């Protein structure tokens, strides 16, 4: 298959490096009426809150806090009320992907013309056509939200975790200061590595599209995450390591590696259900699903899995115990690459089984039924049906 | 050295693929008064002109043609007069880097407040602070001009070849249709490969900055150019190959691989002088200079040259005839990598010696003197003085 036609347009201004929060006054419009959106207070402990407030002292932002780790629709709606009531015209998301996604959702919902902002997530015709401007200060590299137009939000009432993606929802700027990530708990650092890794595989482990540059750009991210991830856990205050992880996570989901190639995202679809139903972290849900997805889909992803085995894990023909070249030797290489992937996640402390999170076996049928009911077409061929989903999750009990 | 702080902001909308010229009416503002800027007529022979005119039939552009392969200041000024006299408010550059750069220069010069637009090239304080909007239709992948804010222009009168780089000069959009490159003469195809290759090495072959992702993104481009370049000469109508080269050339100079890393650009500075003085193609001038630059600077670029040898050319420790590990064996690997680079250029039909272009040995002293007179500080350390420039060029006679 030849490279697919594509449009790439990513107008986010990235301001990267030590001390870059101090550039906020130059990035925010001078007369903006700013509402700062953040989470549970980690930014108060790590000094980012103080840096933001200090840099904006001539135009102090109002605040909306309490965004949950998987931001809730119900919470976002409260912020929308505040935006409308007090006339804020610039939203500053400060934190990880949750605070950034919440800021994007609130910014779009505040100017949404329809009756029910949740429609932006469920109805493609109602994806945001407008938004208040948003700026971001990132403290947790993982979701790539700082450089894309997407937002994922959870609705408690219906236990749904859904997303939109709109060209109107790109942040105007995102500040990425690696020092802001020094104090992340290990679990969040590890989650970020896994999240960026699987954002990459969703755009890479599909079928060949004669796009060697995009393939190598994806492999560049995977190789760097494998190198730097463990270092970040061992040396949380190593600037270089934190900077590299931060830039990897951004590059993994800013659209670049997906240009002109098929994309999967089935692991995300299943993972979102697990998070919505059982509350496990996003990255945890992905680490559970991916090994099953790759094992189950290994024939259809065969060519790319062999390339992945060789270029990312160094598993080349002739190095395994099965010496005869042929399909069996290839199978062994693929199996080993998937094992290495799962081991990598586990080595970071991220569980890869439903049982690691005490999720009951009933989840298998429940997730599959929910996805079937929603009628979504999954996988790079858009044809993963309920039977396959059950089989994939059954591999992860 | 840790990764440098950086700002990355590239708002160009890329519309890539077969048939994408038909999207022009959606990309150009509906009421724009368009001046189309192009070169010597190759776009009339390859059908691109007809496609542009057909797609814009509801809002036909006026035309300014005759942009030279190294666009001349004197020619651009004529276009500026036409823009001002007739009130054009949108410039559409159609062609290779020369037409695109000319369009950007004309767009900036048309709204330039100073007396002499050439000051935009020589005085950093006068870099474009404004520009008419520009759109591009690319027909020759090479310069990366379609996705950056730079423009290179030649002044006949003084035999100067200089550039500006301004955030106001990013194209609003660039259309990249690989089919538009099918009829390129081999020389231009080869030049494009060399140009993109050396744009990449200028941002990669410096000194280590602990930026493994950027390194691998650069290597991704180099490896792909090495694979696809020869195929494009052998199969000029292979869509996949043309698409891959086109995307490589764009990625080589859109700012991404240069994020946070030291940059060199000395090869370009010397090459520009050779083009300005002797009229050789831009890529030819780079192919002449680079091998000399790398050999002369091999100690200062040592770590990156060893990485380049291994990752780009597969020259790993222990594979050469010099078996003892140590500095000598490393030297041999570096020497081989530089030889392979030069052979690659020659295999594409691009000469790598001054004598290949009948440039006299006097060029060595002349180029060095001109650069000294201009007082530019060259190289990733900003300290290449006249003596080194003479030595580098003397290696290329």
Per residue in B191-209, pLDDT (tens digit) is 999 999 999 999 999 999 9
With 0-12 CB in 10 A as exposed, 13-18 as middle and 19+ as buried, what is B340? middle
Q: In degrees, to the nearest 5, what angle opens at C-alpha B94 toward C-alphas B89 and B100? A: 75
- Of the three residues B131, B153, B181, the one that is the final residue of a domain is B181
Is the C-alpha dihedral spanning A104, A110, A113, A119 positive or negative?
positive
Residue B196 and residue B152 in one domain: no
Residue B177 and residue B127 in one domain: yes
Q: Is residue B8 part of a domain?
A: no
Residue B228 and residue B284 in one domain: yes
Tokens 């410096």: give the residue. Answer: B206
Question: What CA–CA distances, in Å, run from B230 to A254, B5, B181, B186, B339?
Answer: 31, 37, 15, 10, 17
- Give yes or no for residue B308 having a pLDDT over 80: yes
Residue B328 and residue B235 in one domain: yes
What is the arithmetic mean of pLDDT over A314-319?
A: 86
What is the predicted pLDDT for the residue at A322? 66
Angstroms from B29 CA to nearest CA on chain A:
17
Number of A–B residue contacts, CB under 8 Å? 126
Q: Is residue A306 part of a domain?
A: yes
- Of the three residues A155, A180, A205, the one that is the final residue of a domain is A180
Partner B contacted by A216 (CB < 8 A): yes
B375 band by pLDDT with thresholds 50, 70 and 90: confident
Q: Max Cα separation, chain B?
A: 71
Under the phi-then-psi rule, with left for phi > 0, alpha for psi from -120 to 50, and beta for the rest, what region is B279? left
Q: Is residue A47 part of a domain?
A: yes
CATH number, domain at B77?
3.40.50.1970
Give the other-Cβ count within 10 Å of A391's Cβ: 15
Residue A261 and residue A388 in one domain: yes
- Give yes or no for residue A246 having a pLDDT over 80: yes
With 0-12 CB in 10 A as exposed, 13-18 as middle and 19+ as buried, what is A222? buried
User: Token pair for residue B102?
Assistant: 């000319």
Contacts of A260 in chain B (CB under 8 A): 16-17, 243, 247
Q: Is residue A83 part of a domain?
A: yes
CATH number, domain at A338?
1.20.1090.10
Residue B194 and residue B134 in one domain: no
Residue A199 and residue A115 in one domain: no
Share of chain A above pLDDT 70, in %: 99
Q: Is the pTM of this model over 0.80?
A: yes
- Of the three residues A180, A207, A234, the one that is the final residue of a domain is A180
- Phi first, then psi, for residue B70 (nearest 5°) are -110, 100
Q: Is residue B3 part of a domain?
A: no
Nearest-CB residue to B224 (from A3, A212, A239): A212
Contacts of A14 in chain B (CB under 8 A): 6-9
What is the arithmetic mean of pLDDT over A265-279?
A: 95
Total domains in chain A come to 2
Q: Is residue A122 part of a domain?
A: yes
Q: Name every residue whose Cβ is closer than 8 Å to that of residue A322 and which is 6 or more positions away in sequence.
A: A328, A329, A332
- Give yes or no for residue A373 having a pLDDT over 80: yes
First-residue to last-residue Cα distance in chain A:
36
A323 band by pLDDT with thresholds 50, 70 and 90: low
Tokens 């109002």: give the residue. Answer: A62
Cα–Cα dist A324/A331, whole Å = 12
What is the predicted pLDDT for the residue at A150? 97
* Burial annotation A153-166 (CB, 10 A radius, 16+ → b, else e): bbbeeeebbbebeb
Partner B contacted by A316 (CB < 8 A): no
Considering only CA atoms, which of B109, B172, B184, B77 is closest in space to residue B140?
Answer: B184
Nearest-CB residue to A213 (from B17, B239, B247): B247
What is the predicted pLDDT for the residue at A85? 98
Angstroms from B334 CA to nearest CA on chain A:
23
pLDDT digits (tens, 9 = 90+) for B213-253: 999 999 999 999 999 999 999 999 999 999 999 999 999 99
Coil/strand/helix, residue A384: strand
Partner B contacted by A240 (CB < 8 A): yes
Select the more confidently predicted residue: B135 or B374: B135
The residue in chain A having the minimum alpha-carbon distance to the alpha carbon of residue B4 is A17
Partner A contacted by B196 (CB < 8 A): no
Contact between B7 and A19 using a beta-carbon 8 Å cutoff? no
- Give yes or no for residue A364 having a pLDDT over 90: yes
* Structural domain boundaries, residue B43: 13-181
Across A88-102, A182-196, B118-132, B247-261, least confident range = B118-132
Contacts of B240 in chain A (CB under 8 A): 2-3, 210
Q: Is residue A1 part of a domain?
A: no
Residue A275 and residue A350 in one domain: yes
Residue B177 and residue B191 in one domain: no
- Beta strands at A173-176 and B6-8: parallel, antiparallel or unpaired: unpaired
Q: Is residue A5 part of a domain?
A: no
Residue B138 and residue B221 in one domain: no
User: Token pair for residue B73?
Assistant: 């200041």
Partner B contacted by A235 (CB < 8 A): no
Residue A118 and residue A198 in one domain: no
Under the phi-then-psi rule, with left for phi > 0, alpha for psi from -120 to 50, and beta for the rest, what region is B295? alpha
Residue A42 and residue A62 in one domain: yes
The residue in chain A having the minimum alpha-carbon distance to the alpha carbon of residue B21 is A5
């Amino acid at each position: 298959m030849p490279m697919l036609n594509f449009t790439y347009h990513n107008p986010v201004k990235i301001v990267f490096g030590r001390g870059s929060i101090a550039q906020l006054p130059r990035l925010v419009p001078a007369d903006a009426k700013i509402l700062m959106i953040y989470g549970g207070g980690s930014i108060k402990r790590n000094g980012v809150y103080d840096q933001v407030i200090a840099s904006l002292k001539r135009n102090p932002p109002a605040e909306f806090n309490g965004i949950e780790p998987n931001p809730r629709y119900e919470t976002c709606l409260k912020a929308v009320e505040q935006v409308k009531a007090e006339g804020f015209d610039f939203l500053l998301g400060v934190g990880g992907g949750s605070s950034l996604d919440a800021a994007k959702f609130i910014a779009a919902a505040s100017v949404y013309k329809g009756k029910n902002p949740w429609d932006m997530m469920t109805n493609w015709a109602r994806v945001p056509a407008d938004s208040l401007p948003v700026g971001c200060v990132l403290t947790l590299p993982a979701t790539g939200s700082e450089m894309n137009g997407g937002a994922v939000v959870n609705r408690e009432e219906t236990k749904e975790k859904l997303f939109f993606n709109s060209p109107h929802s790109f942040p105007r700027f995102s500040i990425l200061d690696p020092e802001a990530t020094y104090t992340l708990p290990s679990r969040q650092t590890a989650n970020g590595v896994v999240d960026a890794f699987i954002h990459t595989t969703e755009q890479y482990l599909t079928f060949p599209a004669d796009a060697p540059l995009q393939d190598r750009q994806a492999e560049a991210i995977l190789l760097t995450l494998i190198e730097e991830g463990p270092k970040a856990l061992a040396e949380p205050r190593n600037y270089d390591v934190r900077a590299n992880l931060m830039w990897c996570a951004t590059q993994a989901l800013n659209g670049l590696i997906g240009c002109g190639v098929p994309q999967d995202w089935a692991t995300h679809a299943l993972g979102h259900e697990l998070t919505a139903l059982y509350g496990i972290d996003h990255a945890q849900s992905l680490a559970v699903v991916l090994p099953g997805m790759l094992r189950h889909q290994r024939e259809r992803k065969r060519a790319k899995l062999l390339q992945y085995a060789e270029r990312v894990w160094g598993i080349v023909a002739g190095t395994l115990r099965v010496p005869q070249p042929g399909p069996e030797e290839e199978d062994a290489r693929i199996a080993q690459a998937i094992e290495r992937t799962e081991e990598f996640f586990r080595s970071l402390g991220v569980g890869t089984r439903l049982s690691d999170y005490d999720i009951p076996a009933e989840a298998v049928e429940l997730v599959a039924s929910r996805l079937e009911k929603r009628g979504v077409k999954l996988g790079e061929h858009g044809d993963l049906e309920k039977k396959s989903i059950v089989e994939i999750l059954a591999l992860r009990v």
